[in-house]
Amino acid sequence: MGIVTHLIVEEHGTFVGKHSERLQVERLKTGDLLAQAPLLHLETVLIATTGASLSAEAVRACSERGIPIHFLDSRGQPYASLYSAGLTGTVETRRAQLRAAEDTRGVALAKAMAIGKIRNQANLLKYMAKYRKEKDPTLHDEIRRLATEVAEHEEEVIRLSAARVDEVRFQLLSAEGRAAQKYWEAIGRLLLAEMEWPGRQTQGARDPLNSALNYGYGILYTAVERACVLAGLDPYAGFLHVDRPGKPSLVLDLIEEFRQPVVDRTVLGMVNKGMPVTLDAQGRLVPESRRLLAEKVLGRLDGEERYEGKRHKLLSIVQMQARHVATFVRGERDTYEPFVMSW
């Protein structure tokens, strides 16, 4: 067994405690050891069940070592994260972030994040189409055409200009939304008929693929939120997405660059390989599917992509992009460039 860097707890009736220099997951009724992870190598703890308890010592050990503990519900919706209290102790970056929403820096960030999403949607379609070129030339050509149509919305975003992001947010979201419609249309054509794809659904999805995507996005959300916090940014003060009480707008902004490279590519790859994604009678992912999805998405975040001339883990790229947002709003960087996956 390899070194555990992401501890996933999805079984009901479990206890997470600290023993020596490691975390251990035990079954409460029997005391059976289910998993253990050395703190030295641990990067995240993911609690994907409401039936788990943690010791205060385990929480303290993670806090002292900068290991976040994330909590997800059965549909992948993050509802809490534990970090060291000291991570939110700096204010310079957050002050600059709030000021940036009132000038052209906010416009530049919102446009870049929308462009990153559009480019990654087009690139993932091209990536998936190339494997159909020999087997199904007609489908290949159709997906390439839709990829081109998705990419055309980038020019629409580039042409937008304003003094404040509030003045162009509607047009930005409209262009992004129309690109997404073509993207999901193409995804639907790539899926096997037996998937019974109802189209993209977020809240309340009850089909396996949408449920898997939503769960994957929840895991990605925790990585992006952590990156924002570590960069000194306020996760709730966004640019592309409008601010509302309780809405982590900046996390929703930055996650747009990473949905396709991290989650869509992973989940669609699982579907193509016939890996099971199973729902229970209530339309929720069963624990085995939640664990499989968590392992695959976290594994993808540990995978490497080319970035700024070198190969880096995607998780590191998420962190570097958050730092680039911070240095851009502080005036230490002239431009902000979105992360774009290769295909």
Q: What is the pLDDT of residues 93-144, one digit of tens each?
A: 999 999 999 999 999 999 999 999 999 999 999 999 998 888 899 999 999 9
What per-residue confidence (pLDDT) applies to 53? 94
Question: CATH top-level class for 6-67?
Answer: alpha beta
Averaged pLDDT, 284-299? 91
Q: Name the residue ranges covered by the structural domains of the chain.
A: 6-67, 92-329
pTM of this prediction exceeds 0.85: yes
Backbone phi, psi, residue 23, to 5°: -95, 145
Are 333 and 265 in contact by the 8 Å Cβ rule? The answer is no
Q: What is the pLDDT of residues 24-45, one digit of tens each?
A: 999 988 989 999 999 998 988 9
Give the position of tokens 């990536």: 127
Backbone phi, psi, residue 14, to 5°: -120, 160
**Tokens linked to 328:** 């851009």
Q: Average per-residue pLDDT in the chain? A: 91
Residue 4, pLDDT > 80, answer no
Say which DSSP state 207 is in: S
**CA distance linking residue 159 with residue 138, whole number of Å:** 33
Q: Give the CATH fold of the 92-329 domain.
A: Four Helix Bundle (Hemerythrin (Met), subunit A) (1.20.120)
